[in-house]
Amino acid sequence: MHFRLRRNVVQLVRTSYNPFTKKPKTVVVGRMSLKDPDLSPELKSQLSEAEIAEAEAWIEVQHRMNSLKEEFAALTLPESISLASRWFSRNADSLAASTVIPQLLPELQALHKMLRKKGLLG
């Protein structure tokens, strides 16, 4: 079994080999959300025990990777903000800067609101 990432979906793909044609055949057994992968009972019913174990291990690794990405982003955020500040000061009139600003401000406001709500701003 392997896992094929398609936009916001993970496809669980089973490969079987045809002894007559001597070629592999892939079949999509099921799908999960990439954002929050989980094996539904109906999906589990279509998988063997080994495939369930493999899928659960893949999901665990995905959760760990996402957790590490978030931690890395949080720990490097001060440096990233400093670098971004220097870049914006040099490129304020660029198309790239004007494209990023509408996305940046709501994220900064949401971060500020969450930090205040969690009591991390003092």
Beta-bridge mates of residue 3: 12
**pTM (two decimals):** 0.77
Question: Percent of the chain at pLDDT above 70?
Answer: 100
pLDDT value at position 15?
A: 93
Q: What is the pLDDT of residues 44-96, one digit of tens each?
A: 999 999 999 999 999 999 999 999 999 999 999 999 999 999 999 999 999 99
pLDDT greater than 90 at residue 18: no
Please say whether the beta carbons of 58 and 40 come within 8 A: no
d(CA 3, CA 43) in angstroms, rounded, equals 14
Phi, psi of 33 (to 5 degrees): -70, 135
What is the tally of helices (H) and strands (E) in the chain? 3, 3
> What is the arithmetic mean of pLDDT over 10-26?
92
Alpha helix segments (H runs only) across the chain: 41-45, 49-90, 95-117
Residue 120 predicted with pLDDT over 90: yes
Largest CA distance in the chain: 70
